[in-house]
Amino acid sequence: MLKRKYAFTYFMIFCLALLSGQASAFGADGHRIIIGIAENHLSKKTARAVESISADLPELALWPDKIRGIQAWKKSKYWHYINIADHEQFETAKRSSKGDVLSALNDAYKQLKQPQLSDRERLQALSFFIHFAADIHQPLHVGRQDDRGGNSIGIKWPPKNRAKNLHWVWDSGLIRISELSVEDYVARLDIVSEKQVQQWQQDSFLDWAKESKALRAQVYEFGLKIPPATIGKKPLSITADYINRNQPLIEKRLLMAGIRLAGKLNEIFDPQKNSNGSR
Does 279 fall in a domain? no
Over 147-190, what HEC string results?
HCCCCCCEEEECCCCEEEEHHHHHHHHHHHCCCCCHHHHHHHHC
Q: For residue 151, what is the domain's CATH number?
A: 1.10.575.10
pLDDT in tens, 212-222: 999 999 999 98
SS3 call for 83: strand
Does 276 fall in a domain? no
> Are 191 and 40 spatial neighbours (Cβ–Cβ below 8 Å)?
no
The C-alpha atoms of residue 97 and residue 162 are separated, in whole angstroms, by 36
Does 278 fall in a domain? no
What pLDDT, on a 0 to 100 scale, did the predictor assign at position 277?
45
Which residues have C-beta within 8 Å of that of residue 25, sequence separation ≥ 6?
Answer: 31, 64, 65, 80, 131, 135, 141, 171
What pLDDT, on a 0 to 100 scale, did the predictor assign at position 258?
98
pLDDT at 279 over 70: no
Does 204 fall in a domain? yes
What pLDDT, on a 0 to 100 scale, did the predictor assign at position 8?
47
What pLDDT, on a 0 to 100 scale, did the predictor assign at position 159?
87
Range(s) of the domain holding residue 28: 2-83+92-269
Does 203 fall in a domain? yes
Does 274 fall in a domain? no
The overall average pLDDT reported for the chain is 88
Structural domain total, the chain = 1
pLDDT in tens, 165-195: 999 999 999 999 999 999 999 999 999 999 9
Mean pLDDT lowest among 13-17, 114-118, 200-204? 13-17
Does 275 fall in a domain? no
What pLDDT, on a 0 to 100 scale, did the predictor assign at position 31?
97
What single DSSP character describes residue 82?
A: E
* DSSP β-bridge partners for residue 237: 156
pLDDT in tens, 69-81: 899 999 999 999 9
pLDDT in tens, 4-45: 444 445 445 555 544 343 444 578 999 999 999 999 999 999
pLDDT in tens, 222-276: 876 665 556 667 888 899 999 999 999 999 999 999 999 999 999 999 998 754 4
The C-alpha atoms of residue 101 and residue 93 are separated, in whole angstroms, by 14
pLDDT in tens, 136-153: 999 999 999 999 999 999
What pLDDT, on a 0 to 100 scale, did the predictor assign at position 69?
83
Does 65 fall in a domain? yes
